[in-house]
Structure 1
């Protein structure tokens, strides 16, 4: 290669370089459009901010151990325990189902070595005055746990799986409700 060919190659922009410059330019222009979901300034479909709308949800008692932990997690995630006297304009209702799937079986003694807890929550958020459905969905999680020959160890492992399932369901539900309430 001669020096004139090398100089032409350095000065001449490549297609890859132009595409990269265009992508960076578009990203810089779109960067001002970003707004955090849980900001005080993100508008909600039910009025006010999304953060305020999440605080206005009333959670009724849910049946079962998973229901108890799910309700507690949702109250903490939505409200944070800061404003118990806040005006409640929305109501959360849920139906929970759980089942256990046996994954492996020890054929020597015929007992299951491990299992998977499958927890499913079908829920909806409605306006208290009108009953209009604002958000709804179905979420499901799978939590594995070990089963032991010691009975109480198995009971505790199953309970820990229920608590983990409730926490994971609460996170999924919070994200979906927040997205649905964003205008």
Structure 2
């Protein structure tokens, strides 16, 4: 068998793979496209802009809400027509990871933040999407009190922003029809 005869099946195989990839590529539709239809009418992009997010209690709730408003709409326009409402609660707990046995003080900790949420239609109260998401955010504890308080607050803010990103993705995926 000559080298030109061996190259022919390889070329045929390569052409078949490229042809299959081209056919499959035409079926892909971006999630945040203007043409991806949602279960509540219109595109997913416009459906996400029509979500009302009321105030959520606590520091993490504040940052979670602000990040979601930015990620879902970006404008925060209060005059926009709202079709959906996001009802969310936040909870948090702290796990001590390592302890310095010489002085009995925790060296590091992990903040476990949980968001429980549901997306409901404003007009009929029907639940469109719901979920519970958790995230772990580690931070260092110091013998200096202010440093520990600031590190814990930074962990709360980081966790709230990460939870908002996760929830936004889940809402977008649930809104696709």
TM-score range, shorter chain: over 0.9
Between the aligned partners of 1:85 and 1:33, the Cα distance in structure 2 is: 36
Partner of 1:22: 16
Unaligned runs of 5+ in 2: none
Indicate the residue corresponding to 1:162 in structure 2. Answer: 156
Cα displacement string for residues 63-85 of structure 1 (whole angstroms, at most 9, x for unaligned residues): 11100100000011111025331
Larger Rg: 1
Give the aligned partner of residue 62 of structure 2.
Answer: 68
TM-score by length of 1: 0.91
- Output one character per residue of 1:104-123: Cα deviation in whole Å (capped at 9) or x when no partner: 00000000000000001111
Contact conserved, 2:69 with 2:76, CA < 8 A, in 1? no
Match for 1:98 among 92, 99, 102? 92
RMSD: 1.6
When the two structures are aligned, how many residues end up with a matched partner? 177
Partner of 1:38: 32
Unaligned runs of 5+ in 1: none
TM-score between the two structures when normalised by the length of structure 2: 0.94
| Shift, 1:11, TM fit | 1.1
Shift of 1:15: 7.0
Report 1:130-145 matches (<5 A).
130-145=124-139
Q: Moved runs in structure 1, 4+ residues, more than 4 A? A: 13-20
Distance in 2 (CA, whole Å) between partners of 1:20 and 1:158 is 55
Following superposition, the deviation at residue 36 of structure 1 comes to 1.4
Find the residue that maps to 1:173 and give its secondary structure: helix
Q: Distance in 1 between matches of 2:121 and 2:15?
A: 48
